[in-house]
Amino acid sequence: MRLHEEPVSCKPCVVWFTGLSGAGKTTIARVVEAELSARGQRVFVLDGDALRAGLCRDLSYSEADRSENLWRAAEVAAVVASEGFIVLAAFITPLQVDRDRIRARLESQPFIEVFVDTPIEVAEKRDPKGLYRRARLGQIGNFTGIDSPYDRPLQADLRLETVTDTAQDLAKTVVQSILLTQGRSPDALTPNLERHTK
């Protein structure tokens, strides 16, 4: 940050990214994190894989355990936001009922639900972790989009189309949305976005 640039203070909030595996949720969240951090904001990325490896390692991938995993994530997000952080949570969150519960739990502070809309054929082609291939081979059960449903969000605050736009452009949209929920100009944080993500 150059000395003459004044950091724009953002209030704590939770941005919840939902979408298929491989949709680009964490990728976009990390770009948003880089931009906000470069502007002096306190940002925390809450990632589904990291949570599964620690706090939720006792849970399976049954529907009940998936709901419990998401509830624990929502509780963590609430605690971190209460400490003054902008929380970027990236979870598949396949069922509308779970998204409704999460919104109800977190709407005491600014809350933005972001639907990362990537067609399954595109997500499956990307398949960075080889999960779709394993699911097609029957090595993984209850896999979202294959043998477990994904309910398209009914009330997402943002819908991001990853087929037509880059992660950098989509991150810019998320940053603008964060500012708008706080009554700020959508241009307040955007000038440095390209510089910090190239």
What is the sign of the dihedral through the CA atoms of 137, 140, 145 and 148?
positive
What's the CATH class of domain 13-183?
Answer: alpha beta
Q: Is the pLDDT of residue 159 over 90?
A: yes
- For 159, residues 6+ apart whose C-beta sits below 8 A from its C-beta are 114, 115, 117, 153
Residue 190, helix vs strand vs coil: helix
pLDDT of residue 128: 86
**28-74 residue pLDDT tens:** 999 999 999 998 899 999 998 889 889 999 998 889 999 999 999 99
**Entry pTM:** 0.87
pLDDT at 198 over 50: no
